């Protein structure tokens, strides 16, 4: 979260690579097996992507497709927001594709809340504040996991797909996060980026 500008081993801006591309690739690698399991077991599969309320604070254009690795104009907080916006967009497009294909798998994204972890380690002011006041105003790890577990396991969520959750309830995602054209563009961009990285390795 909010790292200084760095590139991943695959030469992708680190927060985008870690928070979005890794999840996108892993999900796609598991989809065939998940679909087969859902069919054979007659049980709904569920995909839960952990995003953040910070998705509302990406760059003005949402995803900087043409400047994903551009250090000029890089803002560590906006880049984090961009990666979390990508989580919500990915989830929305995935849900649409699964529904279109008639696969019994749902896909939802969640905001776990501010949690007392080392997530703030790259922001010394916040890290110190969390250490000092965290136990009074920030969720502990168990509380932070509650929404993810709820969306993954609770019977009330059965059949619900393409939604964004916070505090174990459906929540309002940003206008950029519900932009279907942006979601489709991100899907194509991510697939192409992974393909190009695989050709260079």
Q: Which residues are catalytic?
A: 74
At 76-108, the pLDDT tens digits run: 999 999 999 999 999 999 999 999 999 999 999
CA distance 168 to 157: 10
| pTM of the complete model | 0.88
Angle at 168 between CA 3 and CA 34, to 5 degrees: 80
C-alpha 63/C-alpha 6 separation (Å) is: 17
Q: Delineate the domains of the chain, giving CATH numbers in brackets.
A: 7-200 (3.40.50.720)
Instruction: For residue 2, name the pLDDT band (cuts at 50, 70, 90).
Output: confident
161 and 99 Cβ atoms separated by less than 8 Å: yes
Give the confidence band of 61 by pLDDT, cuts at 50, 70, 90: very high
- Among 99, 103, 84, CA closest to 186: 84
Reported as a single tens digit per residue, the pLDDT across 182-200 is: 999 999 999 999 999 998 8
Residue 110: phi and psi, rounded to 5, are -135, 150
């Amino acid at each position: 979260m909010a790292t200084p500008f760095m590139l991943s081993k695959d030469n992708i801006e680190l927060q985008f690579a870690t928070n979005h591309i890794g999840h996108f690739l892993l999900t796609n690698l598991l989809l065939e097996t998940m679909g087969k399991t859902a069919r054979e077991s007659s049980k709904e599969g569920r995909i839960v992507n952990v995003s953040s309320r910070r998705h509302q604070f990406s760059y003005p254009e949402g995803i900087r497709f043409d400047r994903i690795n551009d250090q000029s104009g890089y803002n560590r907080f906006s880049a984090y927001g961009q990666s979390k916006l990508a989580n919500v967009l990915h989830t929305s497009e995935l849900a649409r594709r699964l529904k279109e294909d008639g696969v019994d798998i749902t896909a939802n994204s969640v905001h776990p809340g501010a949690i007392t972890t080392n997530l703030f380690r790259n922001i010394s002011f916040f890290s110190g504040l969390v250490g000092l006041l965290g136990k009074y105003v920030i969720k502990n790890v168990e509380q932070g996991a509650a929404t993810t577990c709820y969306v993954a396991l609770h019977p009330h969520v059965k059949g619900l797909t393409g939604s964004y959750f916070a505090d174990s309830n459906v929540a309002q995602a940003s206008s950029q996060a519900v932009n279907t054209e942006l979601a489709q563009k991100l899907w194509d961009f991510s697939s192409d980026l992974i393909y190009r990285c695989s050709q260079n390795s």
